[in-house]
Structure 1
Amino acid sequence: MNQTALAPQAGTADEPVEISHIRNFSIVAHIDHGKSTLADRLIQMTGGLTEREMKDQILDSMDIERERGITIKAQTVRLLYQAQDGETYTLNLIDTPGHVDFAYEVNRSLAACEGSLLVVDASQGVEAQTLANVYQAIENDHEIVPVLNKVDLPAAEPERVQQQIEDVIGLDATDAVMISAKTGLGVEDVLEAIVTRLPAPKGNPNATLKAMLVDSWYDAYLGVVVLVRVIDGKLKKGQKVRMMGTGATYDVDRVGVITPKLATLNELGPGEIGFMTASIKEVADTRVGDTITDEKKPTETMLEGFKPAQPVVFCGLFPVDAADFEDLRAAMGKLRLNDASFSFEMESSAALGFGFRCGFLGLLHLEIIQERLEREFNLDLIATAPSVVYEIQLRKGANDEGEPEVEELHNPADMPDVMKIEEIREPWITATILTPDEYLGPILKLCQERRGIQKELSYVGARAMLVYNLPLNEVVFDFYDRLKSISKGYASFDYQITGYEAGDLVKMQILVNSDPVDALSILVHRSQAEYRGRAMCEKLKDLIPQHMFVIPIQAAIGGKIIARETIRALRKDVTAKCYGGDVTRKRKLLEKQKAGKKKMRQFGKVDIPQEAFIKALKMDS
C-alpha cells in the first residue's frame, strides 16, 4: 500500500472544511459484489482506523450482517485523504445494502451524495440489483465511476464486463477502475478517481441552516443520534433547530462526524455529512428526509424528502409460550427504535393466542426481524403465512356514509362480507430477472405459473434479461427460492411495486369438523383455489392426530366446498370384555358406541397441534 496516501485522522476535527475539498459518495452494487470489502480498504488506506482496530466488514456492525455476509443498514464514515496533488480531501462514504428489501436505505443514502462508485464483479457481470441501484443513482443526478472488482480471480473477464456495462446500463466504462478490494490492488486509483472525477457539493455557508435528515438510530447513552447532510448554513452545538416536517424543536447537544468512531466538532458546514444529538427520545420522532432548520431564522423551502417506507408483507408473530407475550411486546418496541420501517399491532387468534400483526418490506426483512427477536431476546416464535396488503372497494351503501369506500386488508380473516365488496385489488410488481440462457425455459414456465405477464425479453451476451409483471401475492412465498433452485443459483432478481390492480380473488377458509380455522384463512386467485385447497387439506390430514370420531377437513369458498379429506376415527374395541355368549350382547355394545361417536362428532372438539399450523402454512413450498 502507498504510505503517502495515509493522512493523520486526529487533530483535524475542529478545522473548518473547504467545500471544494469535500467529496460525498456512496457505493452501489449487487449483493456480494464487494461493497463492504472496498469500504474496509478505503478506511484502511486513509488511516480511518489503526491496523489493530480493523476487522473485515467493519461497517457491518450487527452480528446477523456479519454472519450472513450482507449489509442491512447503510453506514456512513468520514475519511481524510491526501491526494497526489498534495491537497487533503474530506471523503464522506456511505456503504449501502444490495438486497431489494433494503432499497429504501439505498435511496436515502444516494440523496445525501453527489456521486457513486458502481462496483461490478468482474467475473459475474451486471446483475438485477446492479441495474436497480444504478438507475436510482442516475435519478439522483449522480456522477458515476464504474469500478470492476475481483479482477484477480481466474474467472474474471473485465473486457466483457466493461462492454456489458455500456450495453445494459449505457455508461461509458472505458476508464473503469480495475481493483481487487480483498488484496487492495488498485484501491489507490479509486481514491484518486473519487477526488478527480466526482463533483464537490454546492452550498452557501452564510445562508440560514438547511439540512437533510438522512438516518437516525437509538443509542443507549446519547438517545437518538441523527445523521444529517448540511445543504446550506451551519449546524452548531447549542443551536435551537426545528424539524420542518413534524414541527418539533430541539436544542443541539453535540455535533460531530463518524470516522468510523464518533468524533465531536463545534459545527458542521455546507456539504458535510455528520451527526447531531438533541435529547430526542424516540426514532419515530425523526422522519427520514425531513428538513432541519434554525428555529429563529427558518429556511423558506423544505427539501423534497422521501416517501415513508411502506410495508408490503404482513405476517402474524405469536409466542410459542403464551407467558412470553409481554416479553415479545417489549422486544418489538426495542427493535422498532432502530428500524422505523418495521410496524406492528396486537392481534389475537383462537388457535395461537395473543400475538402481533407485523409489517415488513419483504421476506428477507421478515426473516431478519424474526431471527433478531429469537436471538437477541431469547424468544420462541410462530410466524403465520406471510400475506400482502389488499385494497377492498366496498359497494355504495355498504358503509354508514353511503359512499364507496376503500379499505386496506392486512389479514384475510378480517375480510368483510362478500356482498359488500365491489372488487378486490392486489399489489403488482415489475420484476427484472437476469439469467444464463440455458435456464430461460424453466424460468419462463415459473413466471407463467405465477400469473406473470411478460413485458420484455432481451439478451446481454449469453445472458437473458426478462421483465415481467407479477402479482406480489405470488412472489412473496417461495418465488425467490424456486428461481434460485431452477437456475442453480445463477439467476438474479429485483422488483419494484407498480400499483394495485383488480383481480378475481376469493377468500378460502379451512373447516375442521365444520368449524372455520381463522389462522388458516388465505386469499387466493380463483383459478388456483382448488389446487391450493386440496393441497392444504391433504397436508392437514397428515398433521392432525386421529380422534375417537371421524374428522372431515374441508376447504371452502363462501358456502361452496372445493376440497375434502377425512381423518378416520380411532376404534376402541368395546367387545373385548365379551367372552362367548349371545351375539346380541356384542351388537348392543357396538350400537351404543356408534351412537356415542355420532354425538361426539356433533359436539367433540378437535385438538390441532401448533406444529400443524406452522407446517400447513408453509405448504406453498
Structure 2
Amino acid sequence: DIEMSEKQMREIFGIEKNEIYHISAKTSEGVENLLNAVISIIPPPEKNDTGESALKALIFDSFYDTHRGVVVCIRVFEGNIQRGESIKFLGSNISDNAQEVGIFVPEMKTGEIISAGEIGYIVTGVKSVSDARVGDTVIKFENSRIREFEKNDTLPLGGYKENNPVVYANLFVSNDSKGDYHVLRSSLEKLKLNDASLEFTPFHSPFLGIGFRCGFNGILHMDVIRERLKREYNLEVNITPPSVVYRVKIAGQTSLKEIFHPSELPENVKLEFFEPMARVEIILPNQYYGNVIQIIIEKRGELLTSANPNIILCEMPLSEVITNLNDNLKSASSGYASMSYSVAEYRPASLVKLDIALNDEIYPIFSRIEANKNVIFKANELVEKLKNTIPKQWIEVKIQARVGGKILASAKISPLRKDVTAKLYGGDVTRKRKLLEKQKKGKAKMKSLGKVQVPSDIFLKII
C-alpha cells in the first residue's frame, strides 16, 4: 500500500510528500528520477586543488586484499595523488607507496590520478587495516610542509570518531568444532585484517578452557563475527553473554579502575560504581506505546522529551540495552517497533556484585554485577537455573546467591543414595539399621572431604 506508506513516513518522520520517491530496485522504476534529484539537490564537493604538494584525503573505508595488501577508500579534499607517489597516514604515522589508484564506477577502475573532489581508492603495501583506520587523513610523504602541518592542529580532517569497543564477550571453540585454540586465534587475526574495530586478548576459563575476550562495537557486530567464523573458517564457537565495562572508584582514591569481569573487583573495600549509559530511540505505532513504556521502566530507563508521538527517546544503562531489549520490544509491539542507540557517558549507579557459592565455596565464573533494585530477582533466577542444571552427586549440593556476606537465595540438590539394604532378606531388623548407620557415617565423611563436581558445559547451559 504505497499511499499508506507515504502517510506513515510523513507522520512519523516529518517528510514532505515531494521528498518521497517511488523506486523499484527490481524493475529500475524511478531510479533515473532519484539520480537527477541527487544531482540537483545535493551540492557538489568543494574543489580546492592548490597543487600537488597539498594533498589532503579522508579515509572512509578500508579492506584487506590477500595479494595487494590494504586498500583504502578515500575522498580527496585538496591536491591530488598519482600512482607511485609516497603517502603517509597521519593517525598511525605509517608511510608507503600508492601502488595503484583509481575510482569506483561502481566497481574499482584503475586510473593514473585522483584529484580534489573525487572519491577513489589507493592500493598500499600496508599489511594491517588497523594502520589505515577509517577517519584518518592521507597526505604525501614528500610534502615539504609536513613538519609545518604536523604542528598545525587543524590538519587532520574531521568527520569520524575512532571506534572503541562497547560490548565484550568471551569466545571459546565448541566441542562440536574441529578447530582448537590456535585455529581460533589464526581466524580472529585474519578477520582483524578486514575489521580494525575487532579487539581480542587471550582468556582462560576453568570451565570452558582457553579462549579470547573480544571487544565489539555492538551486538550486531558480535553476531557478524560469529557468523563469519562459521562460514569462512568452519568454526563453531561458544560465546558468553555480552557484557559492558564498568568503572569503580575505591574509597580514598581518585582514579577509576575498569572492570571487565566481576572477579576483577577488589574485596573488602568500599566501592563506587559507574556504568555506561545509552541514548535509545524507539520508533513504534501509537497503540503499543504503553507496552513499550513498561519495558523501559523495567530496564531502568528514563524518558526524554520527544516532539514526535511515534518516537520514544530515553536513556538507560548499556547493560540493559544489550540484554534482550530488542527482542522484548518486538514481542511487545507485534514486531513493529524498531530501535537504535548510541553510547553516552558513564554515570554513578547503585550496583552490587552477586556471587554464587556451592557448598560454601565461591565460584567466580558465575559472579555478576547487578542493579541493587533487581538483585533479589536475579539471585533467585540464577539459583533456580543452577539447581535444575547441576547433576546430582554423592554429596548434598548447597547453592547460595550472596551479596557480600548476605544470602539472598538458596537451594539444595539432594545426594544420590545407594540402596544398601537391597540384598538383605529376612533376618533381624538390626542388620538393616547397622548398614544404614554405616552409610550415614560414610555420607558425613564424604561431605566433609568431597568437592562439588561442576561439568564443563554447565556455564553454557545456564546462559
- Which range, TM-score by smaller chain? over 0.9
Structure-2 residue corresponding to 1:271: 117
User: Are 2:100 and 2:123, in contact at CA under 8 Å, matched by a contact in 1?
Assistant: yes
CA displacement, residues 17-43 of structure 1 (integer Å, 9 cap, x when unaligned): xxxxxxxxxxxxxxxxxxxxxxxxxxx
Which of 424, 428, 434 aligns to 1:588? It is 434
CA displacement, residues 545-603 of structure 1 (integer Å, 9 cap, x when unaligned): 11111111111112221111111111110122222223232222222211222222233
Structure-1 residue corresponding to 2:275: 426
Could you say if the C-alpha distance between residues 446 and 161 of structure 1 is closer, same or farther in structure 2, counting changes exceeding 3 Å? closer
- Which is worse superposed, 601-610 or 480-489? 601-610
Could you say if the C-alpha distance between residues 442 and 343 of structure 1 is closer, same or farther in structure 2, counting changes exceeding 3 Å? same
Partners of 2:432 and 2:328 in 1: CA distance? 57
TM-score (norm 2): 0.92
Correspondence 1:410 to 2:260: yes
CA displacement, residues 209-248 of structure 1 (integer Å, 9 cap, x when unaligned): 1111211111111111111111111111111111112222
Which of 262, 271, 293 aligns to 1:444? It is 293
Could you say if the C-alpha distance between residues 158 and 504 of structure 1 is closer, same or farther in structure 2, counting changes exceeding 3 Å? closer
Partners of 2:311 and 2:180 in 1: CA distance? 48
Letter of the aligned partner of 1:405 in structure 2? S
- The offset of 1:161, in angstroms, is 4.4
Paired residues for 1:102-501 under 5 Å: 154-157=1-4, 159-161=6-8, 163-164=10-11, 168-169=13-14, 172-207=16-51, 208-297=54-143, 298=145, 300=149, 301-304=155-158, 306-321=160-175, 324-396=180-252, 403-419=253-269, 421=271, 423-456=272-305, 458-460=307-309, 464-501=310-347
Partners of 1:557 and 1:281 in 2: CA distance? 49
Partners of 1:486 and 1:504 in 2: CA distance? 28
User: Are 1:428 and 1:497, in contact at CA under 8 Å, matched by a contact in 2?
Assistant: yes
TM-score (norm 1): 0.69
Partners of 2:99 and 2:410 in 1: CA distance? 66
CA displacement, residues 272-318 of structure 1 (integer Å, 9 cap, x when unaligned): 11111121011111122111111122463221253211211111111
Could you say if the C-alpha distance between residues 260 and 458 of structure 1 is closer, same or farther in structure 2, counting changes exceeding 3 Å? closer
Could you say if the C-alpha distance between residues 159 and 280 of structure 1 is closer, same or farther in structure 2, counting changes exceeding 3 Å? closer
- The offset of 1:174, in angstroms, is 2.8
Structure-2 residue corresponding to 1:119: none
Could you say if the C-alpha distance between residues 267 and 383 of structure 1 is closer, same or farther in structure 2, counting changes exceeding 3 Å? same
Correspondence 1:522 to 2:368: yes
- The offset of 1:157, in angstroms, is 2.8
Counterpart secondary structure, 1:227: strand
Partners of 2:307 and 2:38 in 1: CA distance? 33
Letter of the aligned partner of 1:220 in structure 2? T
Partners of 2:119 and 2:274 in 1: CA distance? 42
Letter of the aligned partner of 2:438 in structure 1? K
User: Are 1:546 and 1:568, in contact at CA under 8 Å, matched by a contact in 2?
Assistant: yes
User: Are 1:290 and 1:305, in contact at CA under 8 Å, matched by a contact in 2?
Assistant: no
User: Are 1:351 and 1:517, in contact at CA under 8 Å, matched by a contact in 2?
Assistant: no
CA displacement, residues 418-449 of structure 1 (integer Å, 9 cap, x when unaligned): 5052x110111121112112211111111111
Partners of 1:333 and 1:280 in 2: CA distance? 15
CA displacement, residues 3-56 of structure 1 (integer Å, 9 cap, x when unaligned): xxxxxxxxxxxxxxxxxxxxxxxxxxxxxxxxxxxxxxxxxxxxxxxxxxxxxx
CA displacement, residues 339-362 of structure 1 (integer Å, 9 cap, x when unaligned): 111111111111111111111111
Letter of the aligned partner of 1:511 in structure 2? A
Partners of 1:284 and 1:502 in 2: CA distance? 33
User: Are 2:387 and 2:411, in contact at CA under 8 Å, matched by a contact in 1?
Assistant: yes
Letter of the aligned partner of 1:355 in structure 2? G
User: Are 1:384 and 1:519, in contact at CA under 8 Å, matched by a contact in 2?
Assistant: no
User: Are 1:162 and 1:174, in contact at CA under 8 Å, matched by a contact in 2?
Assistant: no
Letter of the aligned partner of 1:436 in structure 2? P
CA displacement, residues 60-106 of structure 1 (integer Å, 9 cap, x when unaligned): xxxxxxxxxxxxxxxxxxxxxxxxxxxxxxxxxxxxxxxxxxxxxxx
Structure-1 residue corresponding to 2:461: 615
Partners of 1:303 and 1:457 in 2: CA distance? 33
Counterpart secondary structure, 1:387: coil
Could you say if the C-alpha distance between residues 319 and 599 of structure 1 is closer, same or farther in structure 2, counting changes exceeding 3 Å? farther
Counterpart secondary structure, 1:177: coil
- The offset of 1:395, in angstroms, is 2.6
Letter of the aligned partner of 1:479 in structure 2? L
Counterpart secondary structure, 1:468: strand
User: Are 2:6 and 2:20, in contact at CA under 8 Å, matched by a contact in 1?
Assistant: no
Paired residues for 1:58-137 under 5 Å: none
- Which is worse superposed, 172-181 or 423-432? 172-181
Instruction: Return 5+ residue gaps in structure 1 as ranges.
Output: 1-153, 397-402
- The offset of 1:271, in angstroms, is 1.0
- The offset of 1:259, in angstroms, is 2.9
Partners of 2:325 and 2:49 in 1: CA distance? 51
The share of aligned pairs that are identical, in percent, is 39
Question: How large is the Cα RMSD of the aligned pairs?
Answer: 2.0
CA displacement, residues 489-535 of structure 1 (integer Å, 9 cap, x when unaligned): 10111112221111110111112222222222111001111111101
Letter of the aligned partner of 2:7 in structure 1? R
